[in-house]
């Protein structure tokens, strides 16, 4: 199964771009970063340790090692020559068996946001179909969380973990939080109940209505 076919079957008409949570009727939005203090951000500081712990815990609650995934990375190209500056390490650095990278596919699409009136900007969408066990997801998740912290390693591009077996999409937008989408409420009801205290209060009423 290809990504486009999967999305059409299970997430039809989803606007596949941030903010993901507001583009689909079944989802959760969690707060990752708590008590942020700009004067106390450094490698493995307490704030980031808390971010990592929540991100990894939520990810592990959704995925098993033998699950089939699409890992999708959007690289936005603003026609300034900088589009691919960080892209290679996104896959190469975190894949255990480099032969898996032969499955990597690329598709260039119109810029995912509509504000480019001239049609110059593009989005290069990379998709790797693999098993969860094929990737080192813990350092990968940490690098995504680091994107705005001025701390390396970091991943600046949008990274989506699409679980083919469970029909879910996991997306960390930055250290502040993450989105979890599902094709069915029952798929993620246990996550909603177990990690209810982590739900972003701003969206809590909407989320509670989904799971009533």
Report if residue 167 sits inside a domain: yes
Report if residue 199 sits inside a domain: no
Report if residue 200 sits inside a domain: no
- Name the domain count of the chain: 1
CA distance 202 to 100: 40
Q: If we measure between CA atoms, which residue out of 31, 21, 20, 27 comes closest to residue 53? A: 31
Report if residue 194 sits inside a domain: no
Note the pLDDT of residue 87: 46
Average pLDDT, the chain: 92
Note the pLDDT of residue 79: 66
- Model confidence over 188-212: pLDDT tens digits? 999 999 999 999 999 999 999 999 8
User: Tokens 């009727």 correspond to what residue?
Assistant: 25
Note the pLDDT of residue 121: 86
Report if residue 25 sits inside a domain: no
2-7 CB contacts, 8 Å cutoff, 24+ apart: 3/70, 3/72, 3/105, 3/127, 3/129, 3/162, 6/70, 6/162, 6/164
Residue 158 lies in domain = 3-9+36-174
Report if residue 81 sits inside a domain: yes
Q: If we measure between CA atoms, which residue out of 73, 99, 56, 82 comes closest to residue 155? A: 73
- Model confidence over 45-84: pLDDT tens digits? 999 999 999 999 999 999 999 999 999 999 988 766 555 5
């Amino acid at each position: 199964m290809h990504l486009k076919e999967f999305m059409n079957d299970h997430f039809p008409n989803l606007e596949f771009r941030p903010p993901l949570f507001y583009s689909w009727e079944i989802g959760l939005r969690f707060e990752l970063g708590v008590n942020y203090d700009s004067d106390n951000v450094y490698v493995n500081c307490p704030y980031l340790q808390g971010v990592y712990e929540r991100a990894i815990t939520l990810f592990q609650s959704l995925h098993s090692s033998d699950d089939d995934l699409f890992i999708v990375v959007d690289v936005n190209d603003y026609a300034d020559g900088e589009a691919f500056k960080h892209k290679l390490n996104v896959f190469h650095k975190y894949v255990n068996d480099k032969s898996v990278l032969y499955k990597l596919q690329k598709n260039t699409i119109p810029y995912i946001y509509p504000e480019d009136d001239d049609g110059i900007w593009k989005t290069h969408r990379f998709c790797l179909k693999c098993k969860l066990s094929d990737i080192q997801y813990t350092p990968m998740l940490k690098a995504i969380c680091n994107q705005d912290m001025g701390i390396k390693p970091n991943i600046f591009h949008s990274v989506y973990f699409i679980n083919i077996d469970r029909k879910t999409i996991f997306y960390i937008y930055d250290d502040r939080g993450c989105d979890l989408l599902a094709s069915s409420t029952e798929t993620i009801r246990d996550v909603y109940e177990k990690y209810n205290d982590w739900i972003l209060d701003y969206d809590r009423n909407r989320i509670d209505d989904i799971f009533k």
